[in-house]
Amino acid sequence: MSYTIFRTFQFHPFLLYPTSILKPRNRFFFSTTTKATQTKVPTSTQSKKLDKIPKDYEAVIGIETHVQLSTLTKAFCSCPYSYGSFPNSSICPVCMGLPGALPVLNSKVIEFAVKLGLALKCNLAFNSKFDRKQYFYPDLPKGYQISQFDVPIAAAGFLDVDIPLEFGGGHKRFGITRVHMEEDAGKLMHAENGNFSRVDLNRAGVPLLEIVSEPDMRNGIEASEYAAELQRLVRYLGVSNGNMQEGSLRCDVNVSVRPIGQSKFGTKVEVKNLNSFASMSRAIDFEISRQVLLHSQGQEDQIVQETRLWEEGSQNQTFHQ
């Protein structure tokens, strides 16, 4: 578990330098990190024990997908956005959250939201609104995110997915809880020595659509096929390029496990850092196995609601953020 303490940041002027630097005074920027929490079962013996797990559990999976819209300008100002551009080269008083700056909604954001909502067979809200999602983080200049809460632009839809024959085949219909509009935050670039962090606000204010699915998926294959079908859909509609490597399509997966026949959901765990559909499938299957193993050993109290990151490569496991 990591704890980071921010105190007395000194901001270098945005307008004089191409990047702004968060520089701590008196070197009061530090973090203390403990070892990532893992299941008590050793990694070497875990795979052997997974084969002996009883098949009387089922997984419940839901996905929150952020789609970056391919508009010419940002959601609430006229600044353009281009992936990989020089830091803080596409910002204005609205992007920076300066006092007195008034946002003006880009009509293309609504058009793309309606187009995707119709494609997902959702019910459209003819009267909708924006809400403030308030939290503090250095890359959120206003101190809140403009999003939607209780009246999303679209809700109650579905997405049909055909499972490949090599994975059993069949047709699946996954429910869509809601589609809502929001703006993206900026980006922090941490120095290697940890003494300061640079803030890039180019991405701040870029329009997003968040698609929240119903918890209808039961394994990693279904989840990855759902995400791949959603990528194909947004590309066909022309609302986004859907490139995961650029962050244009980001998926956060919620996984829980329960005994078969039980209607009550288990404790959900959010899994992030999923950079491809293949890694999503592997991460979900690992997390299912981890939770089922704890259930089978009578240690279900160790499953807590948390955010875990997926580590691709030699480890292939999730760990506490």
Residue ranges making up the domain that contains 262: 2-320
Q: What is the DSSP string of 19-45?
A: SEEEEEGGG--EEEEPPPP--SS-HHH
- Contacts for 142 with CB less than 8 Å, ≥ 6 apart: 97
E strands within 142-234? 144-147, 154-162, 171-183, 187-190, 197-200, 207-213
Neighbouring C-beta atoms of residue 158, cutoff 10 Å: 15
Cβ pair 251, 227 in contact under 8 A = yes
Task: Tell me which H or E stretch contains 75.
Answer: none
Looking at the DSSP bridge assignments, the partners of residue 4 are 31
pLDDT tens digit at each of 321 positions of the chain: 333 333 333 334 333 334 443 444 433 333 333 333 443 434 444 444 444 445 788 889 999 999 999 999 999 999 998 888 898 889 999 988 899 889 999 999 999 999 999 999 999 999 999 999 988 888 888 889 999 999 999 999 999 999 888 777 789 999 999 999 999 999 888 877 778 888 889 999 999 999 999 999 988 899 999 999 999 999 999 999 999 888 899 999 999 988 888 888 888 888 887 888 888 888 898 888 888 888 888 887 888 888 888 777 655 556 555
Q: How many domains is the chain built from?
A: 1
Task: Specify the 3-state DSSP secondary structure of 320.
Answer: strand
Which residues are paired to 21 by β-bridges? 198
Tell me the pTM: 0.78
Distance between CA atoms of 57 and 90, rounded to whole angstroms? 50
